[in-house]
Amino acid sequence: MLKESLPELVKVAEYCINFRKDPKIWHSHGCYGYPAAILLLAIVDSIGFYVIGGKVREHFNILKHKNYYNLNLKKKDIDRIYENYRCSLTHNAVLEVNVVLDIGKANDAVFEYKNTIPYINLLPFLNVTKNVVGKFLHKINKDQIVS
């Protein structure tokens, strides 16, 4: 199932990020950022479950795992991503106050602070996630750790 579900999640996240809102309809610019973030964070959670295990919160340590996301994040950053982005979006369909989702540019950091405000940049998050899913699926094929 993972060989089908993870690429599907990536593909739909990519569609959401590439979509551009018509401000006449949406009253704002941007993409389908909230569903894209939910999907990308679900992939983090899923791969973290298989590679790291433990409680859901611990799955997000995959973000600093050298063989997967390899993001240079501190524990407080991972906690912020988990609590202020993943949990708020998944359970309440909103972001916490003073955290931002941005489309970003391909070479931006996935997670960064701008004037002390945390940002997740969706395009670089998508690009890193595509690579991570590829590595993970290759590993499960090779090691047969899951079917």
Task: State the Cα–Cα distance between residues 45 and 102, nearest whole angstrom.
Answer: 21
**Comparing C-alpha atoms, which of 141, 143, 106, 108 is closest to residue 6?**
141
Digit-coded pLDDT (tens) for 84-134: 999 999 999 999 999 999 999 999 999 999 999 999 999 999 999 999 999
For residue 143, is pLDDT > 80? no
For residue 147, is pLDDT > 50? no
Task: State the Cα–Cα distance between residues 130 and 56, nearest whole angstrom.
Answer: 21
For the stretch 58-61, contacts whose Cβ atoms lie closer than 8 Å and that sit 24 or more positions apart, written own/partner, are 60/86
pTM above threshold 0.85? yes
Q: How many domains is the chain partitioned into structurally?
A: 1
Q: 81: which DSSP letter?
A: I
Q: Check residue 1 and give its pLDDT.
A: 87
Structural domain range at position 53: 2-143
Within the chain, where are the H helices?
Answer: 2-18, 23-26, 33-51, 56-59, 75-80, 88-92, 122-143
